[in-house]
Amino acid sequence: VSERLRVTVLGPTGRLGRAICEAVLDDPGLSLAGCVVRAESAACGQDMGGVLGREPIGCIAGVSLEEAAEQADIVIDASLPRMTVSAAERLASIGGPCLLTGVTGFTEDQDTRLLTASHQLPVLRASNFSLGVAIAEALVRQAAVLPAREWDIEVNETHHKMKTDAPSGTAIMLARAAASRRGVSLEEAAIWSREGTTGPRETGTIGFAVSRGGAMVGEHSVRFLAEMEELTISHRAFDRRVFARGAITAARWMHNAGQGREPGLYSMQDVVSD
């Protein structure tokens, strides 16, 4: 019996999936047990070592989630929402292993299906696997305390020029943490952008400012501006591998030294608050 934590990756050929596979292979405590790809994928039937530009490793990319799951202690998902939801439902019906997903962009219906699957399956969901961002989220929640209710919150983010959506999912998540601590919905509080004669700032709103340029992996700051002081919580990612590293930390947390977790929906907040 292997002492290593056996990981199966869904979507191993994508940007995030590749980084996760690399991080698994580089970690002596982990092994890459399976990789699930689409039948049309060029990687299908190929040794994943070769797909990643390495020596063969004996892990062949295949289409069967069930087969790959059987070999694994944990499934890490870096695919796309449709795949994530069907994988969660199938893993719930075969009794695991648990699922860690970094996928974003679920519809409301897909959200509900993922939540339903988590009644039978431990699922950790993170739109950002970085540990620093998870800690920043906890700090933002702490800073949005009631006595500082009147402080103006502004969320700034900068990303590389190829990013196509704005504000980033992480900026929205950080703002949502502040809003929920204040007992308001982000949708009510958000000022998504400003231009022209905007008038004075309305108390209680949460403003966003977005910059795009260069190769910046991701920078977020949440500013709490008061009459006579300012508190800023900021985070900068230097390397995309930060997401893969965080995913592995979360995988170990989910595995819980072989004890596993109860079925339910977990987040990076659980990982950093343990």
Ligand X SMILES: NC(=O)c1ccc[n+]([C@@H]2O[C@H](COP(=O)([O-])OP(=O)(O)OC[C@H]3O[C@@H](n4cnc5c(N)ncnc54)[C@H](OP(=O)(O)O)[C@@H]3O)[C@@H](O)[C@H]2O)c1
Catalytic residues: 159, 163
In this structure, the strands spanning 264-266 and 152-159 are unpaired
User: Which one among 38, 141, 223, 241 touches ligand X, defined by CB under 6 A?
Assistant: 38
**Least distance in angstroms from the C-beta of 143 to ligand X:** 23
Q: Report d(CA 165, CA 151) in Å as an integer.
A: 28
User: Which one among 20, 24, 25, 36 touches ligand X, defined by CB under 6 A?
Assistant: 36
Closer to ligand X by CB, 144 or 237: give it.
237
Rule CB under 6 A: say whether 41 interacts with ligand X: yes
Amino acid identity, position 265: L
Query: Tokens 């659980």 appear where?
Result: 270
Closer to ligand X by CB, 39 or 146: give it.
39
Identify which of 217, 223, 224 has the alpha carbon closest to the alpha carbon of residue 246.
217
User: Which one among 8, 46, 118, 127 touches ligand X, defined by CB under 6 A?
Assistant: 127
Rule CB under 6 A: say whether 17 interacts with ligand X: yes
Closer to ligand X by CB, 19 or 121: give it.
19
User: Which one among 51, 124, 129, 157 touches ligand X, defined by CB under 6 A?
Assistant: 129
DSSP state of 176: H
Amino acid identity, position 89: E
Rule CB under 6 A: say whether 8 interacts with ligand X: no
Count other Cβ atoms within 10 Å, centred on residue 189.
Answer: 18
Rule CB under 6 A: say whether 269 interacts with ligand X: no
HEC readout, 57-123: CCCEEECCHHHHHHCCCEEEECCCHHHHHHHHHHHHHHCCCEEEECCCCCCHHHHHHHHHHCCCCEE
User: Which one among 31, 118, 128, 156 touches ligand X, defined by CB under 6 A?
Assistant: 128
**Least distance in angstroms from the C-beta of 185 to ligand X:** 23
Amino acid identity, position 272: V
Of residues 222 through 261, those in contact with ligand X by CB under 6 A are 243
**Least distance in angstroms from the C-beta of 75 to ligand X:** 12
Site string for ligand X, 74-113 (x = CB under 6 A): ----xxx--x------------------xxxx--------
Please, where are the H alpha helices in the chain? 15-26, 48-51, 65-70, 81-94, 108-117, 131-143, 169-181, 186-189, 241-255, 268-273
User: Which one among 7, 32, 37, 48 touches ligand X, defined by CB under 6 A?
Assistant: 37
Closer to ligand X by CB, 168 or 189: give it.
168
Closer to ligand X by CB, 14 or 204: give it.
14
Closer to ligand X by CB, 41 or 205: give it.
41
Tell me the C-alpha to C-alpha distance, in Å, between residue 135 and each of 126, 195, 222, 255.
13, 32, 13, 21
Of residues 136 through 155, those in contact with ligand X by CB under 6 A are none
Query: Tokens 């196509």 appear where?
Result: 164
> Given the rule CB under 6 A, which residues bind ligand X?
10-11, 13-17, 36-38, 41, 78-80, 83, 102-105, 126-129, 243
